[in-house]
A and B are shown apart, each in its own frame.
Chain A
Amino acid sequence: MNAQIVVDIALGLILVGLAAQVALGRHLFRSIVFYVAFGLAMAVIWARLGAADLALADAAIGAGLTGALMMVAFRRLVGIDPEQAQAQMTRHSHVAVAVAALTAGLVATVGLAALTMARAPESAGMQVLARLEETGLGNPVTGVLLVFRGFDTLIEMAVLLTAFVGSRVMTQRSRLNVTTISGFELPLVRTLVAVILPLAVLIAMHLLWIGADQPGGAFQAGAVLAGSGVLLLLTGTLLPAPRSNAMARLALVAGVAALSLLVLVPLSQGRPPLAFLGKGSLLFAEAAMMVSVAVSLTLLFAGAPALKAGRQ
């Protein structure tokens, strides 16, 4: 057994251990912290598997943004129902144990079967790699997301929009203006924001730009931008606005609208929907998706339909 396999097995065990801590944790806050650690471990594992796109997405969305959303949800729960937030969760249903055992068995069986099977020569992945040259893209993940399975991405953006609207319906009556941290007026924090923000915007644009040829793309770039939005909300530079406005709505639907254009424009030219229109159109769609992802996640964190400028 060589060192690589030892590292891989250790990473796998760490992942399962963290997942158990998330599920069995006695305290909600503790579970959230372990969930963030779980997302980071998952990102490391994706990187080990050579799936850099997924590693980036998991580090930015799975660990970063989801963690921030859960933290702010917990903080609001403390405000709304302190007893439930601090409650010790000791009761575990017996059904849950059975379901977990069955699922673990199923995953193990499928995994072992997949390991022993020979790779099918005509699998979808092989066909994508063979036909990727026609698109001029260097990153097969972007090829699949926007050219070969563009409908999936369109529906994914629609799901994000629907989820956001759903959360607005759920939360619009509650007063959720408790995001700013104390100490944001300190020079130290202002310096941090002044250094981090330009770098974060630079990284987001870089991820968007190289997404066609290297790991990166709209979701990763949008998550990095949303991280900047969270930082601005925490430091009070941006504040939740009580009423939605045209800009916020436009940003929320930009991704769905741009992908719909990719479907409709070829149709109007008598070609099949989503026929490849060239790299420029993909960059346009990815930029719109980045804006939608960033604004949706930031607004979810703010618990508001729009944002307004706060203290400078």
Chain B
Amino acid sequence: MIDLLALVMLLAGCFFVFAGTVGMLRLPDVYCRLHALTKADNLGLLLICLSLALLAGRLRITLLLLLIWLLALLASTVSAHLIARHSRARRPPTGEPQ
């Protein structure tokens, strides 16, 4: 039962990471790409971490995986903000595809 739940979460996590990658490659401008990448990838990473924690079944590993996710979340938040800020300073968003 736990294995099945972990498998479902792992597959869902892979789907979100894949969707984020497709978004980064296909979406029209830097803001849309950032949106796709940071939102979908962080959700995907959380699902993958949760499923690995379920499979490990140990508190220590669960906490370490949670720490990894929080650090990735923090890093992607700040870098997305900086990239968007830099991009806005160079070329303000027009609403039109670039």
Contact = CB atoms under 8 A, between A and B. Distances in A.
The answer to whether A and B belong to the same complex is yes
B71 interface: yes
B75 A183 contact: no
Interface in A155-192: 181-183, 186, 188-189, 191-192
Interface in B18-69: none
A188 B86 contact: no
A212 B82 CA distance: 39
Contacts of A89: none
A52 to B, nearest CB: 16
A199 interface: yes
Contacts of A182: 85-86, 89
A195 B67 CA distance: 12
A181 B85 CA distance: 12
B82 A183 contact: yes
A192 B85 contact: no
Contact of A195 (B74, B82, B85, B86): B74
A181 B71 contact: no
Contacts of B81: 186, 188
Interface in A15-58: none
A138 to B, nearest CB: 20
Nearest to B77: A188
B78 interface: yes
- Which of B71, B77, B78 is the most central at the interface, judged by chain A CB atoms within 10 Å of its CB? B78
Interface of B: 71, 74-75, 77-78, 81-82, 85-86, 89
Interface of A: 181-183, 186, 188-189, 191-192, 195-196, 199
Q: Which 8 A-B pairs rank lowest in CB-CB distance, beginning with the nearest?
A: A192-B78, A188-B78, A183-B82, A188-B81, A183-B85, A192-B74, A189-B78, A195-B74
